[in-house]
C-alpha cells in the first residue's frame, strides 16, 4: 500500500510525534509542499493521499487509477472535487473538532484585542506616548465591556458552540444565524442573517465555504451592522467581500475586524486588506488551529482514518 503526503510542512511537523502515522502498514512518500502542477505526477501511483491545502481536482483523480482514499488534514473539503472522487470510488475523509480549543481561544484573543484596543495601547506604551502623558494613564482609544453585549454566530457546529460558551461566561447574549435554504432541528436562538446583523456587537463566522456562503458578508450586509460592531472570521476568507470590509473600516461604518483567513493564502498576489492605513484591523496568518495539542490530535485522526479504511470501515467519510 503506497501513501503520499503532499504538504507535510503545513502541519509544522518539527514539534509533533508522527511515529504512529509512519508505523502504519503504508509505504509513505512525504513531500514538504506541493505545487498544484505537480499533484498528478505525485499521486499517480498512490493508494492513499494525505493533503492539507493542496487541491486534488477531477483531472488528478482521473489520472490516479490506484487511488482509494484521500484523508484531509483539515475539516474543510473545498480543495477536493468530491463528486469526481465519488465517481472514481475514492473515499474522502477529513478531520473534525481537533482544533476546537485552539480556534476558540484565538477567536477570543481577537475579540478581546479589538474591544480593548490592545494593539493600539501597546504601541503607544512603547513609542513614548505614555511617557509624554500628563496623566498616569492613556485614554486615547475606546475600550468597551463585553458584558451585556450581543455575540452573533454564523455556524453552530463545534467551533461556534465553543465560542458561544465563552461568551456566556463574559455575560454576553448569544444569537445564531438562520441561513436561507437551511433546515434547523435545534432550539438555539436563531434569526435571519439580515436581522442578526443589525442586533450584534460582535459577529463571528464559523461556517464552511460553499457556493451558498461565498461572499456571505458583503457591502449590503456590513451596512446592516452597527458602527460600533466588530467582525471576526476564523473560517474561510471567501466568506467576506474583502474590498467591502476595507471600505467599511476606512469609513468608520464598522469598528473593527479580526481575521485569521484571507481569500488567497498565502497572499502572494497581495490583498486589499493588507494595508497599514486600514484602522482597527488585526490579521493573523491562519494560525487559529496551530496549537501543538491541536495539530497532534489532527495527526491522531489521520491514523484513525487510515486504520478504519484498511479495516473496511471508513471513518469521517465526507463523500
The C-alpha atoms of residue 152 and residue 232 are separated, in whole angstroms, by 10
What are the distances in angstroms from CA 230 to CA 151, 152, 202, 256, 262? 10, 10, 5, 5, 17
E strand residue ranges, 6-47: 27-30
C-alpha cell at 216: 456571505
Question: CB–CB of 207/239 below 8 Å?
Answer: yes
The C-alpha atoms of residue 170 and residue 193 are separated, in whole angstroms, by 23
The answer to whether 190 is a known catalytic residue is no
Question: CB–CB of 314/35 below 8 Å?
Answer: no
The C-alpha atoms of residue 219 and residue 36 are separated, in whole angstroms, by 33
42, 190, 206, 286: the catalytic one is 286
106, 190, 236, 295: the catalytic one is 236
Question: CB–CB of 162/100 below 8 Å?
Answer: yes
The answer to whether 41 is a known catalytic residue is no
C-alpha cell at 18: 508522527
Q: What angle do CA 219, 79, 9 make, to 5 degrees?
A: 110
The answer to whether 264 is a known catalytic residue is no
Question: Which residues are catalytically annotated?
Answer: 236, 265, 286
Amino acid at each position: 500500500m503506497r501513501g503520499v503526503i503532499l504538504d507535510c510542512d503545513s502541519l509544522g511537523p518539527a514539534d509533533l510525534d508522527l511515529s504512529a502515522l509512519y508505523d502504519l502498514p503504508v509505504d509513505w512518500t512525504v513531500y514538504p509542499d506541493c505545487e498544484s502542477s505537480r499533484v498528478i505526477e505525485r499521486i499517480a501511483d498512490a493508494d492513499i493521499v494525505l493533503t492539507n491545502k493542496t487541491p486534488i481536482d477531477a483531472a488528478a483523480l482521473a489520472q490516479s487509477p490506484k487511488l482509494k482514499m484521500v484523508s484531509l488534514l483539515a475539516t474543510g473539503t473545498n480543495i477536493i472535487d468530491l463528486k469526481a472522487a465519488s465517481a472514481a470510488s475514492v473515499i474522502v475523509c477529513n478531520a473534525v473538532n481537533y482544533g476546537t480549543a485552539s480556534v476558540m481561544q484565538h477567536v477570543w484573543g481577537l475579540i478581546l484585542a479589538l474591544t480593548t484596543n490592545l494593539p493600539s495601547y501597546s504601541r503607544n506604551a512603547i513609542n513614548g506616548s505614555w511617557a509624554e502623558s500628563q496623566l498616569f494613564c492613556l485614554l486615547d482609544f475606546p475600550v468597551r465591556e463585553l458584558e451585556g453585549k450581543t455575540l452573533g454566530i454564523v455556524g453552530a457546529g463545534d467551533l461556534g458552540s465553543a465560542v458561544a460558551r465563552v461568551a456566556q461566561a463574559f455575560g454576553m447574549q448569544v444569537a445564531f444565524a438562520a441561513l436561507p435554504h437551511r433546515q434547523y432541528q435545534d432550539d438555539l436562538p436563531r434569526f435571519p442573517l439580515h436581522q442578526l446583523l443589525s442586533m450584534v456587537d460582535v459577529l463571528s463566522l464559523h461556517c464552511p465555504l460553499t457556493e451558498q456562503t461565498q461572499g456571505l458578508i458583503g457591502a449590503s450586509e456590513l451596512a446592516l451592522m452597527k458602527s460600533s460592531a466588530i467582525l471576526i472570521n476564523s473560517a474561510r476568507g471567501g466568506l467576506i467581500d474583502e474590498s467591502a470590509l476595507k471600505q467599511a473600516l476606512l469609513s468608520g461604518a464598522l469598528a473593527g475586524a479580526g481575521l485569521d483567513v484571507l481569500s488567497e493564502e498565502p497572499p502572494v498576489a497581495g490583498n486589499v486588506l493588507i494595508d497599514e492605513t486600514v484602522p482597527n484591523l488585526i490579521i493573523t496568518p491562519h494560525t487559529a488551529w496551530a496549537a501543538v495539542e491541536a495539530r497532534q490530535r489532527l495527526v491522531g485522526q489521520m491514523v484513525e482514518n487510515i486504520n478504519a479504511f484498511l479495516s473496511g470501515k471508513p471513518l469521517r467519510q465526507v463523500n
